[in-house]
Structure 1
């Protein structure tokens, strides 16, 4: 009986020591640090969407830092130079043109929303009212020249030749019944062109500061059957990282869909299911 008692006491002591060691080992295990993701962007609603998903990502160990830049070139140059981890401001054709010009390896992670592109005029109430020789402002980068001309062709304002290159240019205009004159300006100057030209083609982000929305004010709109969804973009070398994939999931979440529906229903159409 005494031997059994001694044995039980020894067993309990050993068990206690083992549990104590395990507890000590747990205490000594280093706490996994949060990962910081820097995402370059420009203007609302992109910046607001990033703010919307910060709490969700924080719960998953990802600290999201939005880097707001001042033009539509810096977000890609910063991403290519690894100064940021991703960007959120552009459509895929714009990204592809940057890659071609800069031998870069930026990749689209996921589409987020369609910025409903439209034709606006301060002087005329319909596209039919545009006079002979009217001046129409369009963005001067090749992807948005293509986009602008395609929208006008979609509505039979002009007719384009069969596409033989990556992008349409003004040289591809086959028929131009009103002899419209296209003025190519920097993307960030489109809002100013609204005052200086007969009409301007632009996204809701640049129309909004003028108090304009696609559904209420645009003479023509683009819709969603196109490749121009505003997308989350990263690099080939980090596209599969856990943090980027968490960001991708968060930016395509029901919360973002609800946010767009409640705040940007007229201007931003979710591009994800």
Structure 2
């Protein structure tokens, strides 16, 4: 009898252990997680996310912000599952990254537009550019194309009508401008060495440049390059991502962007 009782008790312990493990796994499943980790550039993305924190807290979520200072690692971390979402890029950049790295990251909502601008410490007007002047632009495919198209709109060069023009697609360069491609984060540091530099707004702001005041030429506000929330495909409808999307597209965040950046950063929702 004691032997049979021992077997029964052992069976109950085993069932309890299995049930307990299953319950523990379910409670920490990705569908009902309450802590959201988002990778972001320092300015303005992390600043905006700081204002999202209390909105999400009211919904029972804790937002953790992981700051990145380049355009590669946020997507690497997202694809590797180290973060739940990222907020630093626009759709053309995301599409190019997916194609080049064979990843499957998707956008969920648009948040804001950062007008790309042409800056200089050496001249006050683009009319002052001379033959052979030095120009620095971003070296990643989507932002290089964007910069070249901006230079074209400013009347400095002409490029082929292709999706992602590169320097080899320049069809007219009457003043023989010398164009150098560099990492986008380094462009503000080039202003002492080149005549003009085409800089993304987030890096301009980090360098204490005000796009609406300091840019010699600024991208139009109807730019298609809206910055977005990105996640791994399959996670876009998870409750915690839906909560993040709703919070970052809230009236409170729209007002914050308008009040804080005064036209340098424009809401896209």
Fold match by TM threshold 0.5: yes
1:1-273 correspondence to structure 2 within 5 Å: 35-163=34-162, 166-272=163-269
The total of aligned residue pairs comes to: 240
> Root-mean-square deviation (CA), in Å?
1.7
More displaced, 219-228 or 116-125? 219-228
Between 239-248 and 221-230, the greater mean CA deviation after superposition: 221-230
Q: 1:34·1:61 contact (CA, 8 Å) conserved in 2? A: no
Q: Assess if the C-alpha contact under 8 Å between 2:109 and 2:245 holds in 1.
A: yes
CA distance in 2, matches of 1:36, 1:152: 43
CA contact (8 A) 2:43 2:206 kept: no
Report how far residue 209 of structure 1 moved. Answer: 3.8
Partner of 1:4: none
Runs of 5+ consecutive residues of structure 2 not aligned to the other structure: 1-26
Which whole-Å CA distance do the structure 1 matches of 2:201 and 2:82 have between them? 28
Report how far residue 34 of structure 1 moved: 6.0
Instruction: Check conservation: 1:34, 1:63, Cα contact below 8 A.
Output: no
CA distance in 2, matches of 1:117, 1:34: 36
Moved over 4 A (4+): 31-34
Rg bigger for which structure? 1
Unaligned runs of 5+ in 1: 1-30
Distance apart, 1:81 and its partner CA: 0.8
Deviation at 1:269, TM superposition (A): 0.6
Q: Displacement of 1:270 after TM fit? A: 0.7
Q: Indicate the SS of the match to 2:98.
A: helix
Q: Report deviation, 1:155.
A: 2.3
Provide, for residues 67-103 of structure 1, a one-character-per-residue CA deviation record: whole Å limited to 9, x for no partner.
Answer: 1123221100000111111000111111111101111
The whole-number CA distance in structure 1 between the counterparts of 2:232 and 2:207 is: 34
Q: Over residues 152-196 of structure 1, what are the superposed CA-to-partner deviations in whole Å (9 max), with x where a residue is unaligned?
A: 112222111221xx4111111111122111111111111111111
Partners of 1:142 and 1:204 in 2: CA distance: 17
- TM-score normalised by L of structure 2: 0.85
1: CA distance, partners of 2:177 / 2:238: 48
Deviations 1:213-239 (A, max 9, x none): 122111111113332111111111201
TM-score of the aligned structures, taking structure 1 as reference length: 0.84
